[in-house]
Chain A
């Protein structure tokens, strides 16, 4: 993603939900990211998140992503305003 393509700001935006180590790395459970008029891919948003929150970058590399309730299969998927993207670090139930 080019610099400034995805910016933290006002709606219409993508809501990012953070769990476990991802939440702890950022210090918040949710983030809101404004999309540029031309839109952005999941990969671009992930890169922007890592740039904005360096402790989150290495967690993102091993996390699964869930977009609107479905696991992301291709990072090239285009995001839409009001999408919700959840960051799932490696699971540890049981």
Chain B
């Protein structure tokens, strides 16, 4: 089991290794990367991620346990970058090793949707020339990393 908030690059291969659970017949992994979206303030060159770390780590742990309970996951990965993440780099990795593929896919989908909905992480877009842009303050921030 593994939850992580890291300012350093996330490795898909290491996440895959963390999902190497004995007896798991299905392993699914999702990685979200930062896209060079075009916005009114220019092309996105990076996303800045902000986090309320203590609450976020607790919620990530709860998501991990829920994936085990609901989908009988034998291994779970929920990793998220914090700080500045340049275009092309991985901002989030979630995955699950389960008995069968359907559970693994369902668990992975559950994890990424719940990360976006329930974990106190916020992002703002950074364009060329250092301009920052946050989408409507009344709605969750944009979807540049999925």
Residues of A bordering B, CB below 8 Å: 17, 19-21, 24-25, 58-59, 62, 66, 69, 86, 88-94
Nearest 3 pairs of A and B residues by beta carbon: A92-B141, A93-B121, A21-B137
How many chain B residues touch A (Cβ–Cβ < 8 Å)?
32
In the bound assembly, the distance between CA atoms of A88 and B50 in angstroms comes to: 11
Complex contact B32–A94 (CB within 8 A): yes
The interface residues of chain B, by DSSP majority, are classed as mixed
Complex contact A69–B32 (CB within 8 A): no
Shortest beta-carbon distance from B64 to chain A in Å: 15
Within B85-124, the residues touching A (CB, 8 Å) are 91-92, 112, 115-124
In the bound assembly, the distance between CA atoms of A75 and B51 in angstroms comes to: 24
Within B42-92, the residues touching A (CB, 8 Å) are 49-52, 54-55, 58, 80, 91-92
Check: B20 CB closer than 8 A to any chain A CB: no
Binary contact track B111-146/A, C-beta < 8 Å → 1, others 0: 010011111111110000000001001111111011
Name the contact of A92 in the complex, choosing from B54, B58, B123 (C-beta under 8 A). Answer: B123
Complex contact B116–A91 (CB within 8 A): yes
Shortest beta-carbon distance from A8 to chain B in Å: 23
Using A19-B122, A69-B55, A94-B116 as known contacts, say yes or no to A89 and B137 having CB atoms under 8 A apart.
yes
Task: Give 26 A-B contacts (CB < 8 Å), ordered by A residue.
Answer: A17-B52, A19-B50, A20-B122, A20-B137, A21-B134, A24-B134, A58-B137, A58-B138, A59-B138, A69-B55, A88-B52, A88-B55, A89-B122, A89-B137, A90-B138, A90-B140, A90-B141, A91-B119, A91-B121, A91-B122, A91-B140, A92-B121, A93-B49, A93-B115, A94-B92, A94-B121
